[in-house]
Structure 1
Amino acid sequence: MGKEEGSTTVVKKVIVSYAYVSIWIALSFTVIVYNKYILDRKLYNWAFPMSLTLIHMTFCSVVSFLLVRVFRLVETPSNMSKSLYLSSVVPIGALYSLSLCFSNSAYIYLSVSFIQMLKALMPVAVYSIGITLKKDTYRTDFMANMVSISLGVAIAAYGEAKFDSTGVFLQLGAVGFEATRLVLIQILLTSKGISLNPITSLYYIAPCCFLFLVVPWMVVEYPVLMQTSSFELDFWVFGTNCVCAFLLNLAVFLLVGKTSALTMNVAGVFKDWLLIAFSWSVIRDTVTTLNLIGYGIAFMGVAYYNHIKLRALKTRDPINAEGNRSILIGTTTNTKNGQAQA
């Protein structure tokens, strides 16, 4: 009877894990495709990425405030002081706003499939910035792996049928800002004992992102919006888009909290291939053989990188284990889009 109960428990855990994975993949997939639909000139044709990011930040600021301050469903860290907020959260919020804005802007110029391929450079950026800020230690085998990932992405870029230098610049900028944000989270928050779940993260960071974006938005996009009918928002489209982006943050929290970073990494790889297939078969983006070869090389490098990091976590290697759980999560959740980068 004990064995039967044990087997039933294992089956339940497997089913629950698959359910969380499925929910996260579905929401991440939806947010990425939804943002592409809104921003693409050939689809919905609302090419205002900064405005879209501001709408997301406004929605998440309001909802997180209600959950934290009005309904008291989530508690904030007791050691989050004003000075800590200004010295730690504000820089992270600034980087987050840049990462989201650049990432959303890239959808105007690049296909969904090619953007996913460029995102494979996230481990390279995280490791390089970690070394620069003395958060990580230089290792020859790691650097060789970073070179292989970069080479794979370069091959994929060379084989891209609709290569756009502006879009590539924006997406690489998004990767750079996001990687810096992930490293700073380790340096500025985790090292000081601050732990934020997606709701408290949005509670602190979303208003900060809004403030950083609102001034350039007033200069760059607001005058154009005022001169066009695009200023009149479709509340159904943008409302559901914001809800999906917010729910994605909850899905990230549930997936990592109820399973593991390893599960999320494996799910992220599956999601990326799924998006590439969707981009090719449904959106009709051109995916060349050279694209796939290059991304295949980069994918193997990313898989090896995650394997090394997870092994370091298990063995508690003092060189690599510190803080790598968050960095591992970052490599697979970079959407960038919405708030939890898909």
Structure 2
Amino acid sequence: MGREGSGGGAEGGGGDGGVVRKVLLSYAYVAIWIFLSFTVIVYNKYILDPKMYNWPFPISLTMVHMAFCSSLAVLLVRVLRLVDPPSSPPMTRDLYVASVIPIGALYSLSLWFSNSAYIYLSVSFIQMLKALMPVAVYSIGVLLKKESFKTSSMLNMLSISLGVAVAAYGEARFVAWGVALQLGAVAFEATRLVLIQILLTSKGISLNPITSLYYVAPCCFAFLLVPWFVVELPLLRNRSSFHPDLLVFITNSFCAFALNLAVFLLVGKTSALTMNVAGVVKDWLLIAFSWSVIRDTVTPINLFGYGIAFLGVAYYNHVKLQALKAKEAEKKAQQADEEAGKLLQEMKGDRQNDS
């Protein structure tokens, strides 16, 4: 009896240890994602800002990222076969043209515009403007009939917008063109996220970040070639004296690729909602870093406005969490009803056999 009791205690301890290990792993995934996202943002700012590395060519930088990510994705999917492309339904040419190409076009515009904004705006102010992402996703979702219009949701979106407007009013380094670029990036990214639901998820296609890069990155590279030839190639020819540091661009591209892996780990092992909540923590850390290390000016009005937007985003995430819990509870209840129905049928069958 003593041995059985001690064995039970060991199992209980092992169970507790498993839970602790799972929680610690979740925190580790969050920390890795925050670190890599933080690194990519600051690194891009360093390369593109005329006062730092002074290589203000956002299209070229984005194309370098896409070429690097495409190469590694092809290596992982086709050569090493460590990641499988979707098989049900398969990615046909018609599906690629109808679904992936529009998403790739929007992604290229989103990356181009967001990287361009680093030339004109501070890291802290860009993070404040990114708080408008839920507003853009909800608005486009309603427009494309993927979201239902609710007065409470619209009031929430207005509160976020008001907070960002106040933060913009208090910005010491307000550049209208930079703000327009970042708002454009938010709009393109939000449209891309909604179109993923319409064009891919609704058709049963689920792409992880590696397969997404495998299909989308070459498409992005191709779309960026046209503006690159027109806008940046003539400027690059005039800067023939500039010799880029390969180590800087390779490590920068590797960080961008690693960030996609971190997204895969974070969403796959936790949830997309966890990433949204972690994103709020990352934004505050970036604002603090921008103020303390880069020495960007962050005014009290900036912080007050972003505080309002932060509360709106926090409420948005809370509503999403409650909806997710309700959906899971409904699913469990439906499964319980189905199991109860099967049990009743089996009992009826046994009674008929006994009679």
Q: Normalising by structure 2, report the TM-score.
A: 0.88
Secondary structure class of the residue paired with 1:221 = helix
- Corresponding residue of 1:190: 201
- 1:333 match: none
Q: Does 1:244 align with 2:255?
A: yes
Matches within 5 A, 1:300-339: 300-316=311-327
Checking the alignment, whether the CA contact within 8 Å between 1:20 and 1:255 is kept in structure 2 is: yes
1:233: how far off? 2.4
What's the offset of the Cα at 1:310?
2.0
Rg (Cα) greater in structure: 2
Matched ranges for 1:144-183 at <5 A = 144-183=155-194
Question: Which 10-residue stretch deviates more, 197-206 or 65-74?
Answer: 65-74
Contact 2:277 2:317 in 1 (8 A): no
Q: Is the 8 A contact 2:70 2:217 kept in 1?
A: yes
Match of 1:48 among 51, 57, 66: 57
> Does 2:225 match 1:214?
yes
1:36 is aligned to 45
Please state whether the residue corresponding to 2:81 is helix, strand or coil. Answer: coil
Which residue in 2 is equivalent to 1:27? 36
Mark the runs of 5 or more structure 1 residues left unpaired by the alignment.
318-342
Structure 2 partner of 1:334: none
Residues 1-342 of structure 1 mapped to structure 2, 5 A cutoff: 1=9, 2-78=11-87, 79-229=90-240, 232-316=243-327
Contact 2:60 2:232 in 1 (8 A): yes
> Is the 2:160–2:308 contact (alpha carbons within 8 Å) kept by the matching residues of 1?
yes
Once the two structures are TM-superposed, the CA of residue 230 in structure 1 deviates from its matched residue by 6.4
Partners of 2:74 and 2:13 in 1: CA distance: 46
Alignment gaps of 5+ in structure 2: 1-8, 329-355
SS for the counterpart of 1:187 is helix
Q: Distance in 1 between matches of 2:210 and 2:242?
A: 29
Alignment root-mean-square deviation, CA: 1.1
State the 4+ residue runs in structure 1 displaced beyond 3 angstroms: 229-232
How many equivalent residue pairs?
317
Amino acid at match of 2:168: A
1:185-216 Cα distance to aligned partner (Å, 9 max, x none): 00000000000001100000000001100011
Change (3 A) 1:231 1:196: farther
Q: 1:137 to 1:94 in 2, by over 3 A?
A: same
CA distance in 2, matches of 1:232, 1:202: 29
Distance in structure 2 (CA, Å) of the matches to 1:15 and 1:130: 35
Paired with 1:96 and 1:232, the residues of 2 have a C-alpha distance of 29
1:272 to partner: Cα distance: 0.5
CA deviation after TM superposition for structure 1 residue 265, in Å: 2.2
Q: Indicate the residue corresponding to 2:344 in structure 1.
A: none
Percent identity at matched positions?
75
Q: How many angstroms apart in 1 are the aligned matches of 2:137 and 2:232?
A: 31
Letter of the structure 2 residue corresponding to residue 99 of structure 1: S
In the alignment, the residues of structure 2 paired with residue 262 and residue 133 of structure 1 have an alpha-carbon distance, to the nearest angstrom, of: 22
With 308-317 and 275-284 compared, the bigger mean Cα shift is at 308-317
Tell me by how many angstroms 1:232 deviates.
3.3
SS in 2 for 1:285: coil
What amino acid does structure 2 have at the position aligned with 1:37?
Y
